[in-house]
Amino acid sequence: MPYYSTTSTPPLEETYVKLPSNALLHQQNSSQDNTCTKECEIPTINLHGLTSNISQEITKCKEDIAKAASEWGIFHVLDHGISHKLLHVMRTEQIRLFSMPFEKKRSWCGLPYGSYRWGTPTATCQEQFSWSEAFHVPLSDIDDSSEEFKTFREVMDKLATDMSNLANTIARSLSEYLGDPSTRCVTKSCSKSTSFFRLNHYPDCPFSEEIFGLVPHTDSSYLTIVHPDKVGKLQVKMNDSKWVSVQPKPGALIVNIGDLFQAWSNDVYKSVEHRVMPHSGADRHSIVYFLCPSYDSPIGSCTGHSPIYRSFTFGEFRKEVDKDVKQLGCKVGLPRFHL
């Protein structure tokens, strides 16, 4: 029977409790030490160095970015050039958007149809379910006809422009660090119109010890920029397979490397596996920008020799990811393209 509600919260609890628990996945999770053992201080990079008049400072900043991308796959950035006031206004608009009635969010709210999503439609068990809702917006397709959401669209468009500039600056630095000028086409294939904006909301969760806010995954992007709130709850998987908690840093944005940069760099840069845990007693919000190329853009190896992955387009990659999620309930990603 269809679910109809005048409240803002999607039927997360009703859906979750109806799903069976997968004993095999539960056993695998238990054997892989999925508990979060500690908080972790990820690298913090001041991007002022990239605009310095001193060549040594520029080189040092590029080295720091590349080291963080290869050893961690995730880092904080300060002096990123994005207005804190703009981020605050976007957060206010985000909260207003998610406070709308559930039916309005999933039918139409001035964003492209299908932008709104909640839970995990493909989940066949509780272990694959995400306790969250989101607007995943292709920036090439924003409806500008609604007066009700005019401020929201204007703020999102401005922030997306600034995020795009920041993402391309970091991507250019990572490309140039690997030394081959011909590989700088990474940024040429990416623009605001080919990238995505995602607004996440993780509602207060009564099952916070048993469920994910967002299931473990890597990002299908070159890189991702995140503006978290003060609640935190982002966790990353380290090389020793242990999960650690990444705490928000005042004034900083979080950057994490995506699958495309790992493939392009021949595994020099690390697409870090991460997850979000729900919180009991408080909602959590985040604003996310995904730097992506056009669907027909080839993702080759920057080295030009001994590639780890076969050449593929972004469209091919997305098609494989979507197929695996539908058939397996989870993403496989880069291993599908190993040579």
Q: Euclidean distance between the first and final Cα of the chain, in Å? A: 47
CA–CA distance from 197 to each of 142, 159, 160, 209, 289 (Å)? 11, 10, 7, 29, 5
Among 115-129, 182-196, 223-237, the minimum mean pLDDT is found in: 182-196
Q: Which of 182, 138, 180 is nearest to 160 (CA)?
A: 138
Q: 106 by DSSP, 3-state: which?
A: helix
Kindly state the average pLDDT of the residues 92-98.
93
Model pTM score? 0.92
Kindly state the average pLDDT of the residues 143-171.
85
Q: Is 117 a catalytic residue?
A: no
Higher local confidence (pLDDT), 135 or 30: 135
Rounded distance between C-alpha atoms, residue 153 and residue 113, angstroms: 15
Asked whether 52 and 19 are in contact (CB, 8 A), the reply is: no
Mean pLDDT of the chain: 87
pLDDT surpasses 70 at 273: yes
Kindly state the average pLDDT of the residues 197-208.
89
Catalytic residue among 117, 153, 275, 284: 284
Detail the DSSP E strand segments found in the chain. 36-40, 44-46, 74-78, 116-118, 133-138, 196-202, 214-217, 223-228, 234-237, 243-246, 253-257, 274-276, 284-291, 298-299, 312-313
What pLDDT is stored for residue 1 in this prediction? 34
Q: Which of 306, 308, 296 is nearest to 259 (CA)?
A: 308
What pLDDT is stored for residue 13 in this prediction? 92
What pLDDT is stored for residue 110 in this prediction? 64
